[in-house]
Amino acid sequence: MSKPPSESLVSEYVSYIRIERGYTTQTQITYKFHIKKFCKHLKKKRIPFDKIDHKFFLDYTVHLRKLGLSANSIRAYLTIIKSFFRFLNKQEIFSNQLSKIIETPKIEFKIPEVLSLEEMERLLMQPDVSKASGARDRAILELLYGSGLRISEALNIKAKDIKKDHVRVFGKGQKERITPSGTKFREALLHYWSNFRKGGLKGIDFAFISSNEKPLNKSYFWVLFQKYAEEAGIQKKISPHTLRHTFATHLLKNGANLRVIQELLGHESIGTTGIYLHLCNEHLNNQFKKYHRRYLIRITTSVDS
């Protein structure tokens, strides 16, 4: 193959990741976008598809760096391209084993922002539960913090998926998991449902809906979340996903097993969950420096007097 992949071949790959891999619609759109962008770059550079080699990908990585992409973004981008080449090899369309030699940059380690217990309490108190939207948002916030769900998982929950003490969740790749739900969430949900869901709750209904009785949009809730965070006086740069980080961190700080947290979050790898160990270690170091310094000050003052 000397020419870049055709539109139909890219579409065939997208069908493959949908059917064989179970990727969500949004992931399919993302993969298609990056592959088409890659093919456009090849065409611009006039590089035949069968002439792509290891050196090209090194140069391509430099090109992405110059565009201002972080190591994390480049890694994700090249992972998509590697997946596409594996597909081409599997279909015997392209025999070069490039997927095995494409090097991806090391991930830049960033400790996620989390809220303190006091900040979390302030945030939860912001929605006006005397109104339908406020009662709904309070229940969503309680679910995000109480069960560690991704915002997309929470907004896609159906009424039938919520049981007495747990919630059935469909995560990435439509993988199902069961996660416990707390008393505070159930109380908030009961208030919302009993007072503001006038249409009742059928088995197919979404648990949380907009004023026009449609499923909530993730971007719309992000805007609401930022408003609540500002009203709560939280200065940190946070998003709904911060509550997932906060959930895991608070569990770990209170003695929960990392494997248990992995299951609750739906992580395939314990390494992904391990980031919270680093966060807790940083917390311990900060506490040590803070209180040890105070201790030294007290000793010095006592001796001097």
Catalytic residue among 34, 172, 191, 253: 172
pTM: 0.60
Model pLDDT for residues 106-115, shown as the tens digit of each residue: 545 566 788 9
Q: Which CATH number fits domain 7-100: 2.60.40, 1.10.3470, 1.10.15, 1.10.150?
A: 1.10.150
The one catalytic residue in 32, 136, 244, 245 is 244
Q: How far apart are CA 41 and CA 168, in angstroms?
A: 43
From 150, 186, 197, 245, the catalytic residue? 150
| Domains of the chain, residue spans | 7-100, 117-281
State yes or no: is 293 an active-site residue: no
Please give the average per-residue pLDDT across 264-291, as a whole number.
59
Catalytic-residue membership of 131: no
Q: Which of 75, 177, 267, 283 is catalytic?
A: 267
Indicate if 278 belongs to the active site.
Answer: no
Assess contact for 60 and 14: CB atoms under 8 A: no
CATH number of 117-281: 1.10.443.10
Identify the sign of the CA torsion 286, 291, 294, 296: negative
179, 154 contact by CB (below 8 A): no
What integer best gives the mean pLDDT of the chain? 79
| Catalytic residue check, 267 | yes
Q: Identify the three-state secondary structure at position 126.
A: coil
pLDDT tens for 187-244 read 999 999 999 987 666 555 899 998 888 889 888 999 999 999 999 999 999 999 999 9
How large is the average pLDDT for residues 49-74? Answer: 77
